[in-house]
Amino acid sequence: MEYVFNNHIHHTYYQKDHLAWEYPDYSLVTLCWACHEELHKNKTIPELDESGNILSNKVVCSRCYGAGWIPQYSHVECGICFNCRGERFI
């Protein structure tokens, strides 16, 4: 059996008052950590209201690139990003 590690789910948008698992499949992209980091370096993520109108464009943290944590530092405060304090955005 083959296992794949470090896969991340990228949300192509955020919707106000939605939990991470409440998004339709078409709005999610599976990426490895490096690709997810690269994507967040170059893009903002729109935050939508309940009608689908853009409220703002979220700028991801420049240290963790939107992950909220850094796996290499999991031994220090469970790897939480000190720049955004786990919030993923600046």
Give pLDDT tens digits for 68-78: 888 888 898 88
β partners of residue 54: 48
Is the pLDDT score of 67 beyond 80? no
pLDDT per position as a tens digit, 20-65: 889 999 999 999 878 887 887 888 889 999 888 999 998 888 888 7
Task: Please report the pLDDT score of residue 4 as a whole number.
Answer: 62
Is the pLDDT score of 1 beyond 70? no
Would the pTM count as exceeding 0.75? Answer: no
Q: Where are the beta strands (DSSP E) in 1-90?
A: 7-11, 14-15, 28-32, 45-48, 54-58
